[in-house]
Amino acid sequence: MKGLRSSWPKPRRFDRNLVVIGAGAAGLTASYIASAARAKVTLIEGHKMGGDCLNYGCVPSKALIRSATFLRQARRCKDLGIARAPVEYDFREIMVRVHHVIKTIEPHDSVERYNRLGVEVIHGMAHITSPWTVEVNGRTLTTRAIVIATGSRPVVPPIPGLEQVRYYTSDTIWSLTERPKQLVVLGGGPVGCELAQAFALLDCQVIQVERTGLMGREDPDAVALVEAALRADGVRVLTQTHAIRCQSEAGGQQLIVRHQDGTEEALPFDALLCAAGRVARTEGFGLEEMGIPIWPNGVIETDAWLQTLYPNIYACGDVAGPYQFTHVAAHQGWYAAVNALFGSVKRFKVDYSIIPWTTFTHPEVARAGLSETEANTRGVRFEVTRYSLEDLDRAITDEAAHGFIKVLTVPGKDQILGVTIVGARAGDLLAEFVLAMKHGLGLKKILGTIHSYPTWPEANKYVAGEWRRAHMPSRLLGWVEKYHAWRRG
Ligand SMILES: Cc1cc2nc3c(=O)[nH]c(=O)nc-3n(C[C@H](O)[C@H](O)[C@H](O)COP(=O)(O)OP(=O)(O)OC[C@H]3O[C@@H](n4cnc5c(N)ncnc54)[C@H](O)[C@@H]3O)c2cc1C
Ligand SMILES: NC(=O)c1ccc[n+]([C@@H]2O[C@H](COP(=O)([O-])OP(=O)(O)OC[C@H]3O[C@@H](n4cnc5c(N)ncnc54)[C@H](O)[C@@H]3O)[C@@H](O)[C@H]2O)c1
């Protein structure tokens, strides 16, 4: 390692303790932590502060989903005893609102806010020129350590003819001002499912094409509920279907797909959304020249401390993997900053033990820890406890009594190995399990906690109750029964 670094001249002194490249969730957190620790830190952003999450990802997608959810509720007003709830809307106005939401959140990630926190922010494309130097806007900054937080970009699959048709990615779909009449969504991951459902509710005819199955990482029971909900909202879901080519003719644009049985079909569209995954941004800013290795899945090779090949260059967020979530990027940002600044004294391995995530379809799917499939693949022994949200009072009053909580525990113990929740408020319900798992609290502790009535989190207590019922101390209960009989005389 030392040898590697010695091929570059080391500055005699450094202008900064840390240079962070990229102002998404990972880079913002890393620079915030560094300035809070009184280090001299510069954050370089080549495009928009807030990165993907604010500008093209979580924020616009959740804002769009909110409008779509309102339309679903209005259309199902009879379920709530309301005869008619006519709604009128303009697609353009909904997109205006999406951008308004971005603008409202923008100050949280702004240059002004970070300047106030003590972070120097430079707008420009950074280029790493040595282990201790970064170039931006023709200036060379010297630094003790570097954090790479350059994120990821959407994959555009190599489908013949794609370049000749009107296609969008999550980077560009937010520029729509007119509703596409027919939208083809390519991909059945979280982006594809969330957006296919939202656009269908906004009265687009949506066809979703997925080469395998929807939401491949999730519990099959959860996926079945989401797939049924997508269909009920009007999405034509085509799984095990391959995109063959795009064609543009006088009659319009088409995606030719091949179904599992080998038949081909032409799907007409006026917009096609590529939601086929995201790939780390690793090119064009010095990694190649520095020989920083990339794993076969495209992310920068890092160790348990997020160090790259060069011990003073760290990577975090989507560019480092293994997850692609805002909260994981922020979590890693803390480790990257702390290890970069204090690693020679004490360093911390990133804790990936309990990673939660939620896909914001309707119903939501929320996960932490192992799924049944993962536990089986890894040979982990487990018991399953299930609670149906159909029995939850609050879900019934909300006319949303669908879904379940599934908890995996160590056989004979209440220790939680994993949780999958499907339902209207799954993402919120998950938080209690994440806290329990993180701090080693078992289902008995959740059962012993008062949950206010009638709330959704009561479901967590009820699933713990199901576990308890299945693990009653039968011998003791036999004695207790005899005791009561004796007391009756
Ligand atoms: C549609 C969609 C919905 C999503 N919804 C969710 C969700 O609900 N929940 C969730 O947890 N995650 C969600 N995600 C994923 C989430 O957006 C990402 O995991 C997260 O943004 C990653 O943060 P990051 O800091 O690693 O990268 P980014 O946010 O991509 O930030 C990287 C930044 O680096 C900058 N940059 C790159 N190269 C350079 C350079 N050489 N010099 C200077 N700057 C550079 C880029 O301009 C960018 O601003 C969603 C993603 C999409 C696409
Ligand atoms: N709620 C959330 O937390 C949330 C929401 C959206 C995105 N994200 C993050 O963003 C990342 C990217 O999401 P994504 O959905 O784009 O990616 P993904 O990798 O999760 O899913 C992409 C899907 O597209 C399919 N696919 C790829 N090429 C295809 C082709 N040519 N034809 C048909 N299907 C094809 C794949 O089989 C896969 O199922 C995810 O990893 C996720 O972590 C998170």
- Indicate the pTM of the whole model: 0.97
Beta pairing partners, 128: 134
**Given a cut of 70, is residue 389 above it in pLDDT?**
yes
Second CATH level (architecture) for the domain 162-276? 3-Layer(bba) Sandwich (3.50)
Task: Identify the pLDDT of residue 250.
Answer: 83
Are residues 52 and 24 in contact, defined by beta-carbon separation less than 8 angstroms?
A: yes
CA–centroid distance, 155 to ligand 2, in Å, is 9
Find, among 15, 328, 4, 284, the residue nearest to 146 by Cα. Answer: 15
Q: How far is the CA of 74 from the centre of ligand 1 (A)?
A: 33
Instruction: Write the CA distances from 479 to 375, 470, 485, 489, integer angstroms.
Output: 37, 18, 10, 15
Mean pLDDT of the chain: 97
User: What does the pLDDT read at residue 251?
Assistant: 81
Instruction: Give pLDDT, residue 396.
Output: 98
pLDDT band at 226 (very low <50, low <70, confident <90, very high): very high
Q: 414: which 2 tokens? A: 């209440």
Structure tokens that stand for 333 in this block: 């940002």
- Please answer whether residues 318 and 151 qualify as being in contact, where contact means their C-beta atoms are separated by less than 8 angstroms: yes
Beta sheet of 271-274, edge-to-edge order? 167-168, 271-274, 182-186, 205-209, 236-238
User: In ligand 2, which atom is closest to the CA atom of 241?
Assistant: 33
Residue 7 confidence (pLDDT)? 80
How far apart CA 226 and CA 202 sit, in angstroms, is 18
**Class level of CATH domain 363-470:** alpha beta
Q: Per-residue pLDDT for 152 more than 60?
A: yes
pLDDT tens per residue, range 413-462: 999 999 999 999 999 999 999 999 999 999 999 999 999 999 999 999 99
CATH number of 2-49+110-153+279-342: 3.50.50.60
Going by pLDDT thresholds of 50, 70 and 90, the confidence category of residue 354 is very high
Give the ipTM of the model, two decimals please. Answer: 0.98
Residue 3 confidence (pLDDT)? 60
Determine the distance separating the centroid of ligand 2 and the alpha carbon of 216, expressed in angstroms.
Answer: 9
Q: From edge to edge, which strands make up the β-sheet containing 242-249?
A: 242-249, 252-258, 264-269
Cα separation, 466 vs 389, whole angstroms: 13
Known binding residue 192? Answer is yes
Out of 66, 245, 278, mutate this one to test ligand 2's pocket (max ligand atoms within 8 Å of CB): namely 278
What's the whole-number mean pLDDT along residues 52-61?
A: 98
- pLDDT score, position 123: 98
Q: Is 152 annotated as a binding residue?
A: yes
**299-307 average pLDDT score:** 98
406 is in an annotated binding site: no
Pocket of ligand 1 (CB under 6 A): 21-27, 44-48, 51-53, 56-58, 61, 125-126, 149-152, 170, 191, 281, 285, 317-318, 324-327, 329, 360
Reported as a pLDDT band with limits 50, 70 and 90, residue 1 is low
% of the chain beyond a pLDDT of 70: 99
**Hey, do 162-276 and 363-470 end up sharing a CATH topology, with the first three levels equal?**
no
210 annotated as belonging to a binding site for a ligand = yes
Question: What residue type is assigned to position 464 of the chain?
Answer: A
Q: What is the Cα–Cα distance from 45 to 42, expressed in whole angstroms?
A: 10
Closest atom, ligand 1, to C-alpha of 27: 25
Domain boundaries defined on the chain: 2-49+110-153+279-342, 162-276, 363-470
Give the DSSP H or E segment for 110: none
Taking the C-alpha atoms of residue 135 and residue 127, their distance in angstroms, rounded to an integer, is: 5
How much of the chain, in percent, has pLDDT values that exceed 90? Answer: 97
Average pLDDT over residues 366-378: 96
Q: Which ligand is nearest to the CA of 329?
A: 1
Please check whether residue 201 is in contact with residue 286, taking contact to mean a CB–CB distance below 8 angstroms: no
Burial class (CB in 10 A: 0-12, 13-18, 19+), 66: middle
- CA–CA separation, 268 vs 252, rounded Å? 7
Nearest-CA residue for atom 49 of ligand 1? 51
